[in-house]
Amino acid sequence: MELKSKGQSLKHILFKYLISIGLGLVISVGLIMAFISASFQFKWIFPANHTESLILEKRTDIATSKNFDKSLLPDNTSYLFLSKGDKVIETNMNKNIKDLAFNYHKGSAYSNANLSFMEIQRSDGYVLVAYKLKPYYKSPWMQKNLPQINTLLLILLIIFCFISIITITLIWAKKISKELNPLLKASEEIRKQNLDFQIENSNIQEFNAILESLEKIKLGLSESLRTNWREEEKKRNQISALSHDIKTPVSIIKGNSELLGVTNLTEEQETYLNYIRKNTNRISKYIETLMLVNKSNQANELNFTQIRAKEFVENIEKLAKEFTSTYKLNLLEDINYDDYFLIVDLKNFERAFLNILSNAEEHSPKSSTIELLICSKADELKISILDQGHGFTGEDLLYATDQFYQGDKSRHSKENYGIGLFVAEQIIEMHSGSLILENRTDTIGAKVSILLPVKNTLI
């Protein structure tokens, strides 16, 4: 799989991104220029020399009129009318501007870069007009409420540039995210150990190099998993065969010990025979546990079928009654559910259910009561088993479903190997359900609940 040479490098992509940013900024400036041009064309904004042009248009009229007419002056101006002897005849200038106007009239320099003056000579004196060379809005409301035009244009330029950069960045980020999809997909499939998929290629060389490495990892992991699976399958078959072989001589020993039990034995012989019976039973339990552990690793053995909740619950009730009757326990039932449908492997679920019952029986006092509660909860069926034992410790609640966990050894029989709840949880999780361990709140004892998903229609 040669992917490294395909596509373009990240360096070229980054270069194109920078060019795109540059073009975006140029377009932003162009839009501002177009806005300025349109504003001047439609006379929304007057140019900086507009006031000066208006003064020049009226200059002759101002100079030749019989009496000085201040109405000839444009708005946004102030004036100073001096006599031939430089005495003030009329003005609307403040003191500062008036001092600057005198300096201009006398030919002296004045320090105000934003203010300009124009002198118009009349037969009866001089008219000095002060004005500012800056653009302004045609609308008085805009002139009053909006920022100065230069400031507004700068704000608009910053906004356009910001929008341009954000838009271009989002577009390129989307493109790169799309190129990242093959990497993310391949990583997720490998994480889930789902190795039967085809790795897609990217248009970026560096990403393709990573994808090529992931392809090698996938192939190596696939081969490793196949090897491990073959080894595990071989071990399971060997354990099953060995367990079966051991059961035969154990059965012979048990049978002969039973035959010996009906003969006349001395007290010492009776003691030895009891040892044989006790340890033979222990070996049988070891074999059963070994076979149980072996089966717990065979997750693909489940055979799911669709069943009505009524039929399913009736089967659970029957199992609970048989179990409690065998162990001389009382059974208290509280059953109220909706008759929906479940998808279960009935045989394996019964196995999980009996494991939970066995755990309850092990910790229950003799002749105590086991409670079976079944109810509907949202889109789930809840099955709870409550006992009257000592309940779970804090450690039990954390680890009771771990394989071979036995908790407080003083509360466990020697025939318990910490496998029952582990197997039960595995089977229930394969049914897309969950196992909940808690202590009773009404009295002393443990409560184990099974939550199974239900469907309200046939599939």
Mean pLDDT to the nearest integer, 143-158: 84
Listed in order, strand segments (DSSP E) in 123-269 are 125-132, 136-137
Domain boundary among 83, 118, 134: 134
Helix (H) or strand (E) holding 105: helix 95-105
Please report the DSSP string for 344-378 in residue order: E-HHHHHHHHHHHHHHHHHTSPTT-EEEEEEEEET
Amino acid at 185: K
Percent of the chain whose pLDDT exceeds 70: 89
pLDDT band at 294 (very low <50, low <70, confident <90, very high): low
Rounded CA separation 388/86 (Å) = 117
**Residue where a domain terminates, one of 134, 163, 194:** 134
Determine the Cα angle at 169 with ends 166 and 173, to 5°.
135
Total domain count for the chain? Answer: 2
CATH number at residue 99: 3.40.1840
Closest CA to 80 of 30, 27, 129: 129
CB within 8 A of 430, min separation 6: which ones? 299, 302, 345, 348
**pLDDT 10s digits, 407-429:** 654 344 444 445 678 888 888 98
Domain boundary among 100, 118, 134: 134
Average pLDDT of 1-6? 55
Give 126 or 198, the one with higher predicted confidence: 126
Once rounded to an integer, what is the mean pLDDT over residues 105-125? 83
Identify whether 139 is part of a domain: no
pLDDT at 312 over 90: yes
pLDDT at 328 over 70: yes
Within a domain: residue 264? no
When comparing pLDDT for 459 and 185, which is higher? 185
Domain boundaries, position 445: 302-453
Q: What is the pLDDT of residue 416?
A: 46
Supply the CATH number for residue 400's domain.
3.30.565.10
Sole residue written with tokens 């190795």 = 195
Q: What is the mean pLDDT of the chain?
A: 84
For range 136-157, the mean pLDDT? 83
Torsion-angle region of residue 76: left (phi > 0), alpha (psi -120 to 50) or beta? left
pLDDT category, 458, cuts 50, 70, 90? Answer: low
| Residue 424 resides in a domain | yes
pLDDT at 414 (0 to 100): 41
Residue 119 lies in a domain: yes
Answer whether 287's CB lies under 8 Å from 246's CB. Answer: yes
* pLDDT tens digit sequence for 221-277: 888 878 887 887 777 777 777 776 777 787 888 788 888 888 888 888 888 888 888
Is 227 part of a structural domain of the chain? no
What is the reported pLDDT for 296?
Answer: 58
Q: How many Å apart are CA 326 and CA 354, to the nearest integer? A: 12
Instruction: Provide the pLDDT for residue 48.
Output: 82
> Both tokens of residue 224?
């490793």
In a domain, 376, yes or no: yes
Residue 456: its pLDDT value, please?
78
CA distance 54 to 48: 12
Q: What is the pLDDT of residue 289?
A: 64
Lowest mean pLDDT among 82-91, 94-103, 298-307: 298-307
Residue 111 has pLDDT above 90, yes or no: no
- Residue at 48 is within a domain: no
Residue 302 one-letter amino acid: L
280 vs 71, higher pLDDT: 71
Span 443-453, average pLDDT: 93
State pLDDT tens for residues 9-25: 888 889 999 999 999 99
Domain membership flag for residue 158: no
Q: How far apart are CA 201 and CA 192, in angstroms?
A: 20
The winner for highest mean pLDDT among 194-203, 241-250, 397-406 is 194-203
How far is it, in rounded angstroms, from Cα 147 to Cα 372? 78
- Provide the 10 A C-beta neighbour count for residue 302: 14
125 conformational bin, left if phi > 0, alpha if psi -120 to 50, beta if neither: left
Distance separating alpha carbons of residues 361 and 357, to the nearest angstrom: 6
